[in-house]
Amino acid sequence: MNRIISFLRDYALARFLIPGGIILIVFGIIVSGISNTRKNYPQTDAVVTKAELYEEAHTEGDNHVDATYTIYVRYTVDGKEYEQELGVLPEMKPGTTVKIDYDPKDPTNISQPVGKILPIAMMAAGAAMLIGGIVSIIHTANKNKTLKKQEEEWQNG
């Protein structure tokens, strides 16, 4: 039992960094896949028609969370007008123009264009966390080995 507690204590930083890094890398890959799927979708301008309160602004501990709204937009594709929910976003005033992309096979499938920077940044941050976790394991293992060696020297005189 003592070894388990020592392991959990000694490798606490690695236990956080490695899973966090893996999660960020996976999400970066997912977001990259989504943006690659939609990268050839046509873009058009849409006008915000309605913003319904989704979640009120509130404070959680030291963090202030801004209000979010369900945003609806109107846009035209091939002469046909559509009105769709864009998603839950920060407040946008009705009449505001936003860029959207849409699936040419289903113009009701819309989203805001996703750039390449977000997935790359997520994967880079994940890789940095993963490397940091591995370095932490190596550093802690070396430290423990040195302490064990020092303890043996003291015991042997």
Q: 54-79: per-residue pLDDT in tens?
A: 988 878 878 888 889 999 999 999 99
DSSP-derived secondary structure letter, 32: H
> What is the C-alpha to C-alpha distance for residues 36 and 132, in angstroms, rounded to an integer?
29
In this structure, the number of other CB atoms found within 10 A of the CB of residue 1 comes to 5
Indicate the number of domains in the chain.
1
Q: Could you report the per-residue pLDDT of 1-38, keeping only the tens digit for each?
A: 577 777 777 888 888 999 999 999 999 999 888 777 77
Contacts 24+ apart (CB under 8 A), 81-87: 82/107, 82/108, 83/49, 84/108, 84/110, 86/46, 86/48, 86/110, 86/111, 86/112, 87/111, 87/112
Q: Does 143 map to a domain?
A: no
Distances in whole angstroms, Cα of residue 82 to Cα of each of 69, 76, 90, 98, 152: 20, 6, 22, 14, 77
Q: Helix 12-38 crosses helix 117-156 at what angle (to 10 degrees)?
A: 160
Domain that holds residue 40: 17-132
Q: Does 91 map to a domain?
A: yes
What per-residue confidence (pLDDT) applies to 15? 87
Q: Does 59 map to a domain?
A: yes
Q: Does 147 map to a domain?
A: no
What per-residue confidence (pLDDT) applies to 14? 87
Q: Does 115 map to a domain?
A: yes
Q: Does 32 map to a domain?
A: yes
What per-residue confidence (pLDDT) applies to 157? 65
What per-residue confidence (pLDDT) applies to 148? 86
What per-residue confidence (pLDDT) applies to 86? 93
Q: Does 89 map to a domain?
A: yes
Q: Are 75 and 47 in contact (CB under 8 A)?
A: yes
What per-residue confidence (pLDDT) applies to 49? 96
What per-residue confidence (pLDDT) applies to 62? 80
Q: Could you report the per-residue pLDDT of 101-130, keeping only the tens digit for each?
A: 999 999 999 988 877 788 899 999 999 999
What per-residue confidence (pLDDT) applies to 44? 94
Select from 46, 38, 27 the least CA-distant residue to 127. 27
Whole-prediction pTM: 0.58
What are phi and psi for residue 147, nearest 5 degrees?
Answer: -65, -40
> What is the C-alpha to C-alpha distance for residues 71 and 6, in angstroms, rounded to an integer?
51
What per-residue confidence (pLDDT) applies to 124? 96
What per-residue confidence (pLDDT) applies to 11? 83
Distances in whole angstroms, Cα of residue 143 to Cα of each of 17, 41, 147: 19, 54, 6
Q: Are 116 and 35 in contact (CB under 8 A)?
A: yes
Q: Does 156 map to a domain?
A: no
